[in-house]
Amino acid sequence: PEVCLRLESGPGAAVHSPLAPQSGFLRVLLHSCCTELCMSSLTGLGPFLEDEVIPEVIPMEIEVVDAKITLKDDSPQVYPTSPGPIPIVLAVDHIVVRRRDDGVFYLT
């Protein structure tokens, strides 16, 4: 797996967006990743995403290439004799998530 992070700021970051010289520009590349996550770890992210204060917008680009993510439900079983839920496999060939100066995330 390959993870590349790059944070640019200052006058040189203006090529990415008009807001980037002040707040910076973040670029993330994730390549050939195969991982397994528990659903409880994803639901635990909720409180971090909800905030009463509007954060400063940082323009960014997140690119994921050739990734496989397996989501496993680790919640307590309702019926003890049930085999449990089947894991969900997300296969991502190529996706780009961009956050522009307006704070909106765009998927391409």
- Mean per-residue pLDDT pooled into runs of 10, the chain (108 residues): 89 91 93 91 76 79 95 85 87 95 90
Vertex 8 angle, CA 108 and 54, to 5° = 70
Q: What's the pLDDT at 49?
A: 67
* Residue 67 · residue 33 · CB < 8 Å: yes
Q: What's the pLDDT at 51?
A: 65
Q: What's the pLDDT at 70?
A: 95
Q: What is the pTM of this model?
A: 0.76
Q: What's the pLDDT at 59?
A: 93
Residues near 68 by beta carbon (within 8 Å), at least 6 away in sequence: 33, 34, 35, 89, 90, 91, 92
2, containing H or E segment:
strand 2-8
Residue 83: both structure tokens together:
């085999």
Q: What's the pLDDT at 69?
A: 92
